[in-house]
Amino acid sequence: MQKTLSSGIYPPLPTFFDAQEDLDLATLQRHIRRLANTGIAGYVLMGSNGEAVHLTDEERAQVLSVARETLTELGSEQPIVAGCGAQSTRATIALATQAAQYGADFALILPPSYYKGRMDTRALIHHFQVVADESPLPVVIYNMPASAAGIDLDAETIATLSEHPNIVGVKDSSGNVIKLARLVSMVKPTFRIFAGSADFLLPTLVAGGVGAVAALANVFPRTVCHLQELYAQQKLEEARILQARIIPANAAVTSRFGIAGLKAALENVVGYGGRPRLPLQPLTPQEAQKLQEILSAMPQENE
C-alpha cells in the first residue's frame, strides 16, 4: 500500500555545521528532539533550507542516518522527506535510492533547471515520471521557482503528474493560491498539497491544501501548528490574526535573510544555529539587530 503524507506542518531542517564547516550532527539531533513533541507532522531534510547543494553524497547519508536513528530512539514514527532533486534524471533517481537506503520515507524532487531553455512541459513531465517509475520512495513534487531558475510548474502539469501512482503530493512555494485552488479541483483527494511557506498557510488551507513545509516552524513550531489548528477548529478570525502576525518573522527567515537568517533566528530563540556554509555569509550586525526586533514581536512558545 502506498504511503501517504499526513496533513500538518513539516519544518525544513537546516543542516548544521561547526566552526570548520564540518557537519554538526549533535546539533541536528538536538534540533530533532526539540521539535519532536511540538505538534509537527514530520521533517524535511536537505531541501533548500538544508543547504542540499552544499553537501556531498557521503554527508547526505550521514544526515539521513542520524535523523533516522534519532527518531528511532525517540520512538517516533514521524516521516522524513528527503530532498533528492538533481540536474539529471539519472542523478535524481540515485539520490532517491540513497535516501531510501538511509531511512527517508519520501523523496522531494525539485525540477532540473540548468538547461532551463529546454525544460518545457514535455521534458519536465517525462523527468518526473521516469523518476517516479524508478524511485523506491514516493515522490513529492517541489515547485520552487526561486531555486529552479524561475521554473514554475502550472496546475495542469502538476495535475498530470499526480496521476502517477508514485507521485503523492506537492510542496508549492510559488505563493500562487489561485493555482493551488485550481489544483485542488483537478487532483484526486489523496494527492497532498502543501504550502511551501508559512506566510500563505491559511490561504492554502482555505483553498483545500493540507499543511505546509514552513521554515518558520524550525523556530516557532507550536505557533505555526497552532495556526492550522485554529483553521481546523473553524476559528477563522483568530487564524487570520495569527497568520498576519507571523508574516514578518517568516519573511525574515526566508526571502529577506535566507538560510543565514534562519540559523540566526534559531541561535536567538533556542541557543543554537551556527553559520551557513560558504559562499553563504552570516548576517551583518545590522541585519542581526533587525532580525531580533522582528522575532521579538512573535508570540512566545511554551517549550
pLDDT of residue 303: 56
pLDDT tens-place string over residues 217-274: 999 999 999 999 999 999 999 999 999 999 999 999 999 999 999 999 999 999 999 9
Q: Is residue 103 part of a domain?
A: yes
| Burial grade of 39 (CB within 10 A; 0-12, 13-18, 19 or more) | middle
Q: Is residue 40 part of a domain?
A: yes
Q: Is residue 278 part of a domain?
A: no
Q: Is residue 13 part of a domain?
A: yes
Q: Is residue 150 part of a domain?
A: yes
pLDDT of residue 2: 66
Q: Residue ranges of the chain with pLDDT lower than 70?
A: 1-2, 302-303
Q: Is residue 269 part of a domain?
A: no
Q: Give residues with Cβ within 8 angstroms of 226, minimum separation 6.
A: 39, 242
CB of 158 within 8 A of CB of 190?
Answer: no
Q: How many Cα atoms are found within 13 Å in the side-chain-facing hemisphere of 279?
A: 0
Q: Is residue 271 part of a domain?
A: no
CB of 11 within 8 A of CB of 43?
Answer: yes
| Other CB atoms within 10 A of residue 196 CB | 26
Helix axes 285-295, 236-251, angle to 10 degrees: 170
Structural domain count, the chain: 1
pLDDT of residue 302: 62
The set of catalytic residues is 171
pLDDT of residue 291: 97
| Other CB atoms within 10 A of residue 303 CB | 9
* CATH assignment at residue 199: 3.20.20.70
Q: What is the pTM of this model?
A: 0.96
Q: Is residue 30 part of a domain?
A: yes
Domain that holds residue 75: 8-233
What backbone phi and psi angles, to 5 degrees, belong to 292?
-60, -40
